[in-house]
């Protein structure tokens, strides 16, 4: 494991030389107070949207993203139905500490964060890397999870994940806007137009935004994803033990998580529902926020 981690960190260093986080689209949802809470030896910052009672919905961010990188249309829409909690992992945005280099350590921090807030049961929504973290929590702390929503996320060792390094390297040559549009949306004019609308919403917030990830934190996250990408057939067998409801949402033209990976996860989980959105990429829910919010609300309600 230590050898794998050293190799992943080495590859991450190569990938990230000259690579910049997506600072252009730092933004956020509607105004919400930024708070902090102690988790182990660090303080994690978080925000709460909405005042709904019942099971809260905790959002887990993608690689390279902070809590300000969620599309406000998604957060505001979900907040009409659930209390929505977003937070920054260790070393990300306004949170202190060192960013973990494994998905399991990130899951540990997320669990500690949720419990320190006083919750014993939550719904989880994980986007991309956040979906990996959510799956780890569902496996290791199943009593904490009520329902699980995975967007643009595949199972451990799934097809295509081991190529993420090369794809990030290729993105170095692009502008931040093109990194966002090319990485998160399909090449069609329709998808890119909706991507630009999402970008405008995320960029609208000008004050009190999270700082972009440092190279060290981004490198740690890449190492965590590359570690998760290692082939792991036993992971599929373990996934069968998670019987809670799961909603899997994917884009037809996701370049990071191929539809085949999401289909395999759907076939593995005993109580899963799969929604594939047409002419969409990795961030399908940013492209169709209204449709996604309604689908999610129905899933959580029923």
Q: Answer yes or no: are the C-beta atoms of 9 and 163 closer than 8 Å.
A: no
pLDDT in tens, 3-50: 434 343 333 333 333 333 333 333 334 568 999 999 999 999 999 999
Closest CA to 191 of 257, 258, 288, 275: 288
Angle (CA) 30 35 38, round 5°: 145
The neighbour count for residue 174, using CB atoms within 10 Å, is 13
Please give the full DSSP string across 127-150, using - where no structure is assigned. ETHHHHHHHHHHHH-GGGEEEEEE
Is the model's pTM score more than 0.85? Answer: yes
Rounded to 5 degrees, φ, ψ at 217 are -65, -40
* Model pLDDT for residues 54-76, shown as the tens digit of each residue: 999 999 999 999 999 999 999 99
- Distance from the Cα of residue 91 to its chain's centroid: 16
Burial (CB count <10 Å: 0-12, 13-18, 19+), residue 210: buried
């Amino acid at each position: 494991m230590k050898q794998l981690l050293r190799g992943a960190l080495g590859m991450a260093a190569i990938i990230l030389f000259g690579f910049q986080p997506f600072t252009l689209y730092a933004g956020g949802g509607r105004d919400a107070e930024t708070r902090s809470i102690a988790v182990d030896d660090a303080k994690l910052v978080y925000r709460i949207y909405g005042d709904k009672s019942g099971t809260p919905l905790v959002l887990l961010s993608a690689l390279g993203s902070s809590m300000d990188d969620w599309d406000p249309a998604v957060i505001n829409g979900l907040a009409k139905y659930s209390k929505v909690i977003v937070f920054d992992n260790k070393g990300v945005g306004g949170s202190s500490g060192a960013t973990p280099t494994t998905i399991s350590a990130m899951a540990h921090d997320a669990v500690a964060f949720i419990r320190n807030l006083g919750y014993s049961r939550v719904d989880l929504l994980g986007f991309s890397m956040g979906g990996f973290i959510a799956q780890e929590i569902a496996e290791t702390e199943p009593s904490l999870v009520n329902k699980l929503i995975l967007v643009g996320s595949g199972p451990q060792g799934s097809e295509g994940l081991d190529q993420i390094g090369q794809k990030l390297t290729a993105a170095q040559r692009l502008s931040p806007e093109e990194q966002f549009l090319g990485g998160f949306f399909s090449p069609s004019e329709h998808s890119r137009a909706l991507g630009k609308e999402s970008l405008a919403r995320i960029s609208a917030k000008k004050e009190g935004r999270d700082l972009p990830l440092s190279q060290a934190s981004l490198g740690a996250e890449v190492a965590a994803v590359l570690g998760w990408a290692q082939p792991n057939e036993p992971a599929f067998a373990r996934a069968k033990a998670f019987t809670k409801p799961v909603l899997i949402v994917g884009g037809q033209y996701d370049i990071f998580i191929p539809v085949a990976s999401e289909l395999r996860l759907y076939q593995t989980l005993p109580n899963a529902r799969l929604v594939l959105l047409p002419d969409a990429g990795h961030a399908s829910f940013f492209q169709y926020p209204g449709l996604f919010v309604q689908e999610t609300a129905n899933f959580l309600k029923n």
